[in-house]
Amino acid sequence: MWPEASQAPLWETPPSPNSYQSTPATMRVPAQLREMFETCACHCDPSRYARMYRVLWRSLHGEHALWRDTLDPDMVALASMAQAVRRDAHRMTAFVRFRELPAAEGAPRYVAWYEPEHHILRRTAPFFVRRFGTMVWTIATPDGVAHWNREALAFLPPDASLGHPADDAAEGLWLTYYESIFNPARLNVTAMQRHMPQKYWSNLPEVQRIPALVAHAAERAGRMIVDVESLPAARRPPRARPAPAMLATASGDGLPGEDELDACRRCELWEHATQAVAGEGATPAPLMLVGEQPGDEEDIAGRPFVGPAGRLLRKALEDAGVDVADVFITNAVKHFYFEPRGKRRIHKTPMQRHIAACHDWLEREIAAVQPAVIVTLGATALVATFGKRVTIADARTQTLNHHGGARIVATYHPSAVLRAPDEDARATLLEALVADLKRARQMAR
């Protein structure tokens, strides 16, 4: 039986004794379902056991694959409970702060006070045994107390006398360490508040220092830039960028500037890229070229299409009779998305969230450039500009329009030409690219 006898019954009326005869003598419950039950039992919802009873009954009486049904209402509810318990347990491992009490019997004792949302003390305490096995410690919660004496883990009733422990002598060292590892160039206040909810602040000594660290983040990051610029070029790390307390938005008029793009925190790509890469070229311009994202060389130089694909594109423009000085060139995504492999950075295709994060930047560029024709280079640029997924082969035979009125000419990205498996394939793709650029030039007149 479940430990709480007060749970609501599975049936509206008590079943007859004969109804139990169909229950198998040996119950085989999938391991995934058992693990979910163990997790959900820690949830604070009073109805959790009734729902687990119902799922168990259904699973044993015909619905053997119920645990795989992600759309079943009972399984959806249990999965949500399990996720909440795991999240609460994770936060406990992150937000528990031990404070030292006066030595007893020659061994220091450490005490922490924590207020979990669910009944996770027994589930999470073994983590602290593994992490702090050489310490004598106590974790007090409103539901109970966990005590480790270096030999055995004991769970005791709630002890109101423990409460919030006072500051200890080592807390100053911790605050100094926290300030030293605080990186002002990577500050994201919104993410910090999401991952460190306010209800836990009373137990976190570093919270008292955070307002000052945030207030001086831009100034400190600026000093970091000055220090980096004073180094020889060969020794300079990727450029640090001040991070404002608020997320940068793409709202505004005119072409987005480098500072605006550098301050953007709408997705995670800024964390590893050297810098954002803005578009460049004539403004206004009858012809606008939109690529996928900066590559390795573009990320370092801060300019679009300066690598191998860019050199091929400029040759194709020349063959198509287009003066590169008369066009505006940009990318749908403004930061380099890559996978490190040794000393190399390997290009990765941007995800939909990256395209969506940069969408307003691209729209501002289109509004400022006012092109008659937009040439989309590759599938990512096409979906970012047109708003719908269309294969390049199909799009090349259709009449597409941007919602602002410009015509859209879809073609292959120059990098696709470079990646072609053989000379014949490269020649075919390059011929198609040049033909599409000629068509765009004629349409832009």
DSSP string, 61-75: TT-TTGGG-TTSHHH
Are residues 309 and 395 located together in one domain of the fold?
yes
Contacts of residue 52, defined as CB under 8 A and 6 or more positions apart, other chains included, come to 2, 37, 40, 41, 78
CB-CB contact of 222 with 242 (8 Å): yes
- Domain shared by 201 and 66, yes or no: no
Residue 352 lies in a domain: yes
Write down the pLDDT at residue 416.
93
297 and 394 co-located in one domain: yes
Structure tokens at 274: 């050297």
pLDDT for res 108: 62
Instruction: Examine residue 166 and state whether it is found in any structural domain, yes or no.
Output: no
Cα–Cα distance for residue pair 397/214, rounded to 1 Å? 53
Give pLDDT, residue 243: 42
Q: Could you report the per-residue pLDDT of 92-118, keeping only the tens digit for each?
A: 888 888 887 765 555 567 888 888 999
Bridge pairing between strands 136-141 and 144-148? antiparallel
436 in the same domain as 379: yes
Same domain, 148 and 202: no
In this prediction, residue 5 carries a pLDDT of 43
Question: Which distant-in-sequence residues (6+ apart) come within 8 Å of 374 by Cβ?
Answer: 288, 289, 290, 366, 385, 402, 406, 407, 408, 409
Residue at which a domain ends, from 246, 271, 291: 246
DSSP label at residue 437: H
Tell me the pLDDT tens digit for each residue of 141-178. 988 999 998 899 999 998 777 655 555 556 666 666 66
Same domain flag for 46 and 123 = no
Give the pLDDT of residue 171.
Answer: 64
pLDDT on residue 2: 52
Q: How far apart are CA 49 and CA 69, in angstroms?
A: 19
Shared domain check, 70 and 55: yes
Residue ending a domain, among 246, 271, 299, is 246
Q: Is position 14 within any domain?
A: no
Q: What CATH number did the domain enclosing 378 receive? A: 3.40.470.10
Please choose, from the candidates 374, 381, 387, the residue with its C-alpha nearest in 3D space to the C-alpha of residue 439: 374
Q: Which of 246, 267, 301 is the last residue of a domain?
A: 246
pLDDT value of position 205: 65
User: What is the number of structural domains in the chain?
Assistant: 4
Which positions of the chain have pLDDT values less than 70?
1-25, 102-108, 162-210, 212-253
CA distances in angstroms from 286 to 8, 306, 399, 400, 403, listed in the order given: 71, 22, 18, 17, 16
Handedness of CA 336, 342, 348, 354 (dihedral sign): negative
pTM over 0.85: no
Which tokens hold the place of 389? 């997924």
Residue 219 domain boundaries? 180-246
Instruction: Please tell me whether residue 411 adopts helix, strand or coil conformation.
Output: strand
Residue 226's alpha-carbon distances to 218, 229, 242, in angstroms, are: 13, 5, 12
> What distances in angstroms separate CA 316 from CA 295, 298, 322, 432, one per listed residue?
19, 19, 9, 10
| H or E element, residue 344 | strand 344-347
